[in-house]
């Protein structure tokens, strides 16, 4: 979240920048609450100062065996007024906190202004869309031929949009995850973390999912725990309420987890199967940096995601998202989108964001500067590296053959005992 002192220091400029994300945003309700809060704090502090002074006078009068009853009665009224003011201050604290929790992050000045994905800026493309000498099948048809996925039994075990990976489908999924973890840890210098899949409300709040997006989350109500929608959530709270040393930054973490999202709403036939599901697997990249290095680290985060897609031989494009299409916690986001031949459309497999100090303020994550100055908030960055569900769709549809078999990309063959192709069931 934003720091109220920062908002107070330049409210007009901050409001203008927030309105790039949502023109309806107004800081007036927050500023009115803050002004009243400061007024009451001043009144309360003045009365407390007076109470201390008169209390000393009462003490002297009693010591001199003089009548202090008038002052005592006066102080009772003052104490009652202080209690009333402090109660109102507490209510204002809560109201200000609620207002602050609703505000999104301030978009970086380099982010294009716009409200939809169509306003995103295309930065680059890699590879070519595969041209087929036959009518390509979609991933549902290919899964049916090879027996790799079972959506009907997934619905029987849970509900719709919970897929089951079967046989070579499960092995191909595991090969993807193993490949990505290997690259991130052995080549890119990330430390692997396997966090809990369940987190407490404070962890959800720190990442930016609560309170605004509770309806998108799965919750274990008897335990007050939530299933994670992404491992960004536990990774953001990994250093919550800690003070780090600047010389240890940046910290680079990679994490594998399943991810759980309610995905409320209705979707068309083009988003069936693995394209939009309630549970999927993802390898996450996460960085904790200083403000001075976060933009550079964001660029390398995006490149780490792109290189994975390139090594799998998939055509993709990278776009800079507009102000109105970013997550609440993000100040700047790049999406890496793969081409799905049967859908004839691009779908995101990695979203890389610089959240700057937004999550650090929520989680009280700071660092000690090398020069010994005042502790400062870190910057946090996250990116999918990669999400496998749509990636698997891209692999199946891109590498399909006319007989329904699937060629295995060379990078994955060592994880599949050298198998070069997944053949249809006999």
| Cα separation, 181 vs 284, whole angstroms | 9
Q: Which of 384, 390, 401 is nearest to 343 (CA)?
A: 390
Question: What is the rounded end-to-end Cα distance, in angstroms, of the chain?
Answer: 56
Residues paired with residue 98 on neighbouring β-strands, in sequence order = none
Three-state secondary structure of 283-335: EEEEEEECCCCHHHHHHHHHHHHHHHHHHCCCCEEEEECCHHHCCCCCCEEEE
Interior angle at CA 119, CA 114 and CA 123, nearest 5: 125
Task: List Cβ neighbours of 32 (8 Å cut-off, separation of 6 or more).
Answer: none
| Cα torsion through 178, 181, 185, 186, rounded to 10 | 30
Q: Is the peptide bond before 128 cis (omega within 30 degrees of 0)?
A: no
Q: Which of 393, 312, 412, 383 is nearest to 347 (CA)?
A: 393
Domain 117-422 has CATH 3.30.930.10: yes
User: Which two three-digit tokens encode residue 335?
Assistant: 């999406």
The number of beta carbons lying within 10 Å of the beta carbon of residue 280 is 22
What pLDDT shows up at residue 146?
96
What pLDDT shows up at residue 186?
97
User: Which two three-digit tokens encode residue 334?
Assistant: 């790049």
- Show me where the domains of the chain are located: 4-102, 117-422
Residues paired with residue 260 on neighbouring β-strands, in sequence order = 279
User: Which two three-digit tokens encode residue 116?
Assistant: 């939809």
Q: How far is CA 271 from the centre of its chain?
A: 23
Digits of tens for pLDDT over the chain (426 positions)? 899 999 999 999 999 999 999 999 999 999 999 999 999 999 999 999 999 998 888 888 888 888 888 888 888 999 999 999 999 999 999 999 999 999 999 999 999 999 998 999 999 999 999 999 999 999 999 999 999 999 999 999 999 999 999 999 999 999 999 999 999 999 999 999 999 999 999 999 999 999 999 999 999 989 999 999 999 999 999 999 999 999 999 999 999 999 999 975 555 656 789 999 999 999 999 999 999 999 999 999 999 999 999 999 999 999 999 999 999 999 999 999 999 999 999 999 999 999 999 999 999 999 999 998 999 999 999 999 999 999 999 999 999 999 999 999 999 999 999 999 999 997
User: Which two three-digit tokens encode residue 144?
Assistant: 């049916």
| Cα separation, 208 vs 353, whole angstroms | 13
User: Which two three-digit tokens encode residue 378?
Assistant: 């870190």
Locate all alpha helices (DSSP H) within 103-229, ordered by sequence.
139-146, 151-157, 168-182, 201-207
Task: List Cβ neighbours of 58 (8 Å cut-off, separation of 6 or more).
Answer: 68, 71, 72, 75
Q: Which of 236, 224, 160, 135 is nearest to 193 (CA)?
A: 236
User: Which two three-digit tokens encode residue 279?
Assistant: 């549970």
Backbone dihedral angles phi then psi of residue 107, each to the nearest 5 degrees: -70, 145
DSSP labels, 42-54: HHHHHHHHHHHHH
Q: Which of 403, 392, 410, 341 is nearest to 166 (CA)?
A: 392
Kindly state the helix (H) or strand (E) to which residue 94 belongs, with its residue range: helix 69-102
What pLDDT shows up at residue 58?
86
Q: Which of 393, 354, 361, 392 is nearest to 377 (CA)?
A: 361
219-223, long-range: CB < 8 A, 24+ apart? 223/198
The CATH number corresponding to 4-102 among 1.10.287.40, 3.40.50.10190, 3.60.10.10, 3.40.950.10 equals 1.10.287.40
Kindly state the helix (H) or strand (E) to which residue 77 belongs, with its residue range: helix 69-102
Give me the count of residues in the chain: 426
| Cα separation, 239 vs 273, whole angstroms | 37
């Amino acid at each position: 979240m934003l720091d109220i002192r920062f908002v107070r220091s330049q409210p007009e400029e901050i409001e203008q920048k927030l309105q790039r994300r949502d023109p309806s945003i107004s800081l007036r309700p927050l500023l009115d609450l803050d002004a009243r809060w400061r007024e009451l704090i001043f009144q309360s502090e003045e009365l407390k100062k007076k109470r201390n002074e008169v209390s000393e006078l009462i003490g002297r009068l009693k010591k001199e065996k003089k009548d202090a009853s008038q002052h005592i009665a006066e102080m009772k009224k003052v104490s009652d007024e202080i209690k009333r003011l402090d109660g109102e201050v507490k209510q204002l604290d809560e109201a200000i906190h609620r207002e602050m929790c609703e505000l999104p992050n301030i978009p970086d000045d380099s982010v294009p202004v716009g409200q939809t994905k169509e306003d995103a800026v295309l930065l680059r493309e890699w590879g070519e869309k595969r041209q087929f000498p036959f009518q390509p099948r979609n991933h549902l048809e290919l899964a049916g031929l090879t027996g790799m996925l079972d959506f009907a039994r997934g619905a029987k075990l849970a509900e719709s949009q919970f897929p089951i990976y079967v046989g070579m489908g499960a092995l191909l999924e595991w090969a993807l995850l193993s490949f990505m973890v290997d690259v991130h840890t052995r080549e890119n210098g990330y430390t692997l973390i396997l966090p809990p899949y369940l987190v407490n409300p404070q962890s959800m709040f720190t990442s930016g999912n609560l309170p605004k997006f509770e309806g998108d989350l799965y919750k274990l109500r008897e335990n007050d725990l939530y299933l994670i929608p992404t491992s960004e959530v536990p990774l953001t709270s990994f250093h919550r309420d800690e003070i780090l040393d600047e010389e240890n930054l940046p910290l680079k973490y990679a994490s594998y987890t399943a991810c759980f999202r309610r995905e409320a709403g209705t979707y068309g036939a083009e988003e069936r199967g693995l394209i939009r599901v309630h549970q999927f697997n993802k390898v996450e990249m996460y960085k904790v940096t200083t403000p001075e290095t976060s933009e550079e680290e964001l660029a390398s985060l995006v490149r780490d995601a792109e290189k994975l897609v390139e090594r799998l031989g998939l055509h993709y494009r990278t776009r800079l998202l507009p102000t109105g299409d970013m997550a609440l916690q993000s100040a700047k986001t790049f999406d890496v989108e793969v081409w799905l031949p049967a859908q004839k459309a691009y779908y995101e497999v990695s979203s890389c964001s610089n959240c700057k100090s937004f999550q650090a303020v929520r989680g009280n994550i700071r660092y000690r500067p090398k020069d010994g100055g005042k502790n400062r908030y870190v910057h946090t960055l996250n990116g999918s590296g990669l999400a496998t569900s749509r990636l698997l769709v891209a692999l199946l549809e891109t590498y399909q053959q006319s007989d329904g078999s699937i060629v295995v990309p060379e990078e994955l063959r060592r994880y599949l005992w050298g198998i070069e192709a997944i053949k249809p069931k006999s």
